[in-house]
A and B are shown apart, each in its own frame.
Chain A
Amino acid sequence: MTIPKSDEMKSKGKPCQLHPQSMCPAFGSLRILTRLEGSHPVMATDTGCLYGLTFVTHFYGARKSLLAAHLGTEELMAGEVVEGTRAAIEVAAKEPGVRLIPVVSLCVAETAGLPEEMLPKKAGDADVVLVRVPAYAIHSHPEAKDVALAALLNRLGDTSVAKKKKTLVLLGEVFPADPLAIDGLLRRMGVEQTITLPGRSIDDIERAASVGAVAPLHPFYKETMQVFRSWDIPVVGGAPVGMSGSYAWLKSIGKLLDLDPKLVNEVAEEERAKAAAILSGNPLEGATVIVSGYEGTELAYARLLVEAGAHVPFVSTSIGSDPLVLPDELWLKQRGTQEVIYRKTLEHDVQALDDYDPDLVIGTTPYCAIAKERGIPAVYFTNQLASRPFFLTGGMGATIGFIKQMLSREDKYQWMHDFFELEVVNNG
């Protein structure tokens, strides 16, 4: 293990910040852009970057063939970034069913320069949309999702259609069961339609310009919210997370969309009662949990765990500090959270292991590996939490159930630790 034990670092005060934790930021955009039906992205970058991003996209994004301009020394020296990209666009335009060709411009192409006016706006019938996501400027994976979505909305949002007052955009890449549950409740309150962005449908992006309001489920869609504001579409604050969060959120949607207050109240109260039943008896009481991912949704998860009775002393995320996350940060700090770290490094997280002696770590893969080396139950935030329902009481039940299950596995982590780290093991 080359990461020093955190007690060594602690003696010197603040940990040295050497290993920032984020998936390559650009992947956030690729994930969104490849999952859209009819979208055939073209990448402008070097081969090493292309290999890595294609690898993770084919693993986590979509079973979709990806095209790119070949940008090696020769092409870059000759100033052929635009030519190469245009050639790849032409190939993409021949894919069956193509409607959209996002051009994903990455570090090397951005440094060389890829002027938007040199790219076509259309190739065949497909829209060509430039998405600039150099890792050196975007810093985190969730923020690149925002950049990509904002670019798509700016270009494709259809503002010629009259607004439909009682419709809503749910903003955030969430587990598919979540929007179903949210939509079900909202329809009972009188909402006529919801759209989840980012999703699989290009039509939904076009339609998004005519909704009555936008509800960000995640706190990092800054540029996207700017686009909605430019369309005079109001933004719902908060998110349907946990008991208090969901109640307030349902009420504010009622107000914003001018729904029948009686119906809204009925649904909100019912949901609150269900949540209270789940939380009664503090299912996670006595557990100390560290929440540390790079998805940008860590504070919301921490909030839910705290409501369920857990002690969450330390939360860290890859996104930057922002007014959008401030309410969650304040809420957490009033309830026992001692540290909330933005743009975190592995060193921050490792120190927290010693400082807070957690029963469970929800973290990045390097961080979880270190926790497991110490016999502490740990799971990869991205794979395990982001792939379960999270919102409203349904998500609450699923998430708490999962955490409880993880907490009950402590002996297995301990046994593995003893087996691999100690010379002699009680094999019982």
Chain B
Amino acid sequence: MAKVIRDLADTSSYWAAVWSMCPMPDVHVICDAPIGCFNLVATAVPDYTDSVPHIENITPSVITEQEVGGSGTGEAVKRTYEGLRDEGMLEGKQLIVVSTAESEMIGSDLTDLVKQLQEGTTFFHSESLSDDEHVGRDRVLQWLWENYGAAQADGIEVEAGLVNIIGPTYGCFNAPSDLHEVKRLIEGAGGRVNIVFPYACKLADITDLAKAQVNVIMYQEFGHTLAATLGQPTLHAPFGMRGTTTFLQNLGDLLGTRAQADAFIQHEKKTTLQSVWDLWRGPQSDWFPTTTIGISATRTYVEGLQSYLGDELGMPILFTAPRPGKVGEMNNEAVRQFIHKSPPTLIYGSINERIYMAEAGATRSAFMPAAFPGAMVCRSVGTPFMGYRGTVHLIQEIVNKLYDALFSFLPLDTAYSKPSSGAVQPVKVGDAGNMPWNDDAKEVLDKALDKLPFLARISASRELQMRVEAEAQAKDLDEVTAELATAVLAAQAD
């Protein structure tokens, strides 16, 4: 049976190549692409993932019918190169030609052609028809090292205390905040940040990757091949208080700065982490056991959230869907069905999960952006998921969502309600005292309440009850029936 995709979560290795190469300002990419593959990867999508107006150092060969029809893309790439050269846009730049799904489809191999272009021009066959963005990023980082770093790295000495960060690239969710926090942790443990590859470095500097004593890999999804090649000890960027503490201690051990790392941890407990301790000791943590969670994101984020929210704070994790998925794990089809059936209180995910929530009418669940695809500004450095600051940010967002849920159920006098506001209208208080509910009707109400955040249940219970009773009175019924309760509560969910 042929494979069917529902709402793709991962893009291709062509995107990985562009998004990994173009953050470096001394690179210019010619993408061997039709107009669409250029526009989407360089403007339409990074406008809304990385909040950049457009990626400036990329130019398309603009594949048209002529190239597809038999002439191949060689001439178009050459013409593009000549235009760039004549405009002076390649001065001080390393030119890289990157294949796309369409150029691969018509078998365009430009390995030889690039030798006729600016000296040192290379061709990166992105394997876009077979590899996903994660495999692609891993491969392109290694390829960049082999082509632009390794040769000059012989004889470079490792310098004590220097730490590389491998990843992020464009298109990595929440990268600025997480990167900011990881840098802070490295410095806290006594290290110095060396190269942040490729997000904040020049291609000309990547030889210096060889200087670092330790490599920190931001994401599990890519960077391991390069880290293994570099050969120094490797750590992963951490989540949660437990994970971050271990990370700091390990880094301290590797750098020989364990005492400094331990002192930093102690200092963090009294500063950054004081808010987690306060929220834990306060009434907020009492809601955690009833705050159910679903997570669909990169494996890095899924496992990080699961360990912090689930293992450390004790929230029930109802589903996880790590990307890229493995056999036996939930795909989008399964996530969609899960959300349609019983959406958790908080759903961490991409716009795909948000759409499934909209389809399900899951208005009582809250969507927590945690992955691309989806339009999201993540440029503030104050929204980390990783590190100690991540633990504070995550808990703060969760508690504020619960406050929101409670607020939306508190009674509001109907006289103040303005019909034009578009909000659900407050229910009119009836005048007939308590109405009898038959057992089936009570069960319907209980089931509806089960789906709500625990914190909101007292108010919600009253509110939903009143709505049903108001309808029963309007219909002149003597008691509330299951049928009526079901109808009113279904209308409520919209």
Contacts and interface: CB of A to CB of B under 8 A. Distances in A.
Interface of A: 1-4, 8-9, 12, 16-20, 22-27, 46-56, 58-59, 63-76, 80, 83-84, 86-88, 91, 106-108, 111-112, 134-137, 139, 364-366, 368-369
A82 to B, nearest CB: 9
Contacts of B372: 55
B4 A87 contact: yes
B56 A52 contact: no
Contacts of B12: 46-48, 51
A84 B39 CA distance: 27
Nearest to B102: A107
Contacts of A16: 83, 86-87
A99 to B, nearest CB: 17
Contacts of A4: 87-89
B259 interface: no
A354 to B, nearest CB: 15
7 contacts: A8-B88, A24-B37, A47-B101, A63-B359, A64-B355, A107-B68, A134-B34
Given A1-B56, A48-B12, A49-B37, 19 more contacts: A2-B57, A2-B89, A3-B56, A24-B35, A49-B40, A51-B373, A53-B36, A68-B6, A70-B5, A71-B129, A76-B105, A80-B2, A84-B2, A84-B4, A87-B2, A87-B3, A107-B34, A111-B106, A136-B65
A75 B45 CA distance: 27
A138 B368 CA distance: 38
B64 A137 contact: yes
Given A16-B83, A135-B35, A46 B53 contact: no
A52 B130 CA distance: 17
A139 B38 CA distance: 12
B36 A24 contact: yes
A48 B53 contact: no
A67 B105 contact: no
Given A18-B59, A65-B359, A69-B2, A24 B7 contact: no
A91 B2 CA distance: 11
The 10 closest A-B pairs by CB, nearest first: A24-B36, A52-B40, A48-B12, A369-B53, A135-B36, A51-B11, A70-B3, A46-B101, A366-B54, A87-B2
A366 B2 contact: no
Given A65-B7, A365-B54, A56 B45 contact: yes
Contacts of B36: 24-27, 49, 52-53, 106-107, 135
Question: Which of B43, B336, B373, B374: most chain A CB closer than 10 A?
Answer: B43
Interface in B9-52: 10-15, 28, 34-41, 43-45, 47-48
B34 A136 contact: yes
A58 B374 contact: yes
A378 B7 CA distance: 34
B375 A67 contact: no
Interface in B48-79: 48, 53-54, 56-57, 59-60, 62-65, 67-68
User: Which of B28, B57, B88 has the largest count of A CB atoms less than 10 A from its CB?
Assistant: B88
Most-contacted residue by chain A among B1, B101, B132 (CB, 10 A): B101
Nearest to A364: B43
A51 to B, nearest CB: 4
B260 interface: no
Name the residue in B1, B45, B57, B352 with the highest tally of chain A Cβ atoms < 10 Å from its Cβ.
B45
Interface in B100-117: 100-102, 105-106
Nearest to A318: B35
B358 interface: yes
B415 interface: no
A56 B44 CA distance: 7
B105 A70 contact: no
